[in-house]
Structure 1
């Protein structure tokens, strides 16, 4: 997962593996990347490039909700 954009444009990366992170596996099971709408054109918003086992999408912070928001916070929170 890569978070980019924002006012300062600072990139942040996070990665996790469900074999060593059981919470991640449960979150991934609840996320449907195909149902995520494309990011809107909002100035200075964060964009999240998400790759789950080769399935990829880009999500704007305005589209983050529910399990997808939990997934992003979980993965990026572990990378600190």
Structure 2
């Protein structure tokens, strides 16, 4: 399973990208198993907030920093820890 996270926005507009693959990262599958992409609310309209584009094996969602919490936050931080 492959997970990609792209963070954009923020005051400076600097983009950051991270990828992780469960073949080389056993913790990734456990984190993904706790995430329900169907329950992710759309990003709110908050000036200068970070926005996260998340792709889990082709299933995609976009979430604003204000809505990023719980298992989804853990997953995003884990994947961005593998940032290129």
Among candidates 28, 49, 68, match of residue 64 of structure 1: 68
Q: Which segments of 5 or more consecutive residues in structure 1 lack a partner in the other structure?
A: none
C-alpha separation in 2, matches of 1:67 and 1:25: 12
Aligned to 2:39: 35
Q: How many residues align?
A: 80
Aligned to 2:80: 76
Aligned to 1:54: 58
Q: Runs (4+) of structure 1 moved beyond 4 Å?
A: none
Q: Which segments of 5 or more consecutive residues in structure 2 lack a partner in the other structure?
A: none
Question: Which structure shows the bigger proportion of residues in helix conformation?
Answer: 1
Q: What's the secondary structure of 2:29's corresponding residue?
A: helix
User: Deviations 1:38-71 (Å, cap 9, x if unpaired)?
Assistant: 0000000000000001100000000111100000
Instruction: Please report the TM-score for the alignment, with normalisation by the length of structure 2.
Output: 0.92
Q: What's the secondary structure of 1:14's corresponding residue?
A: strand
Quote the offset at 1:19 in angstroms.
Answer: 1.2
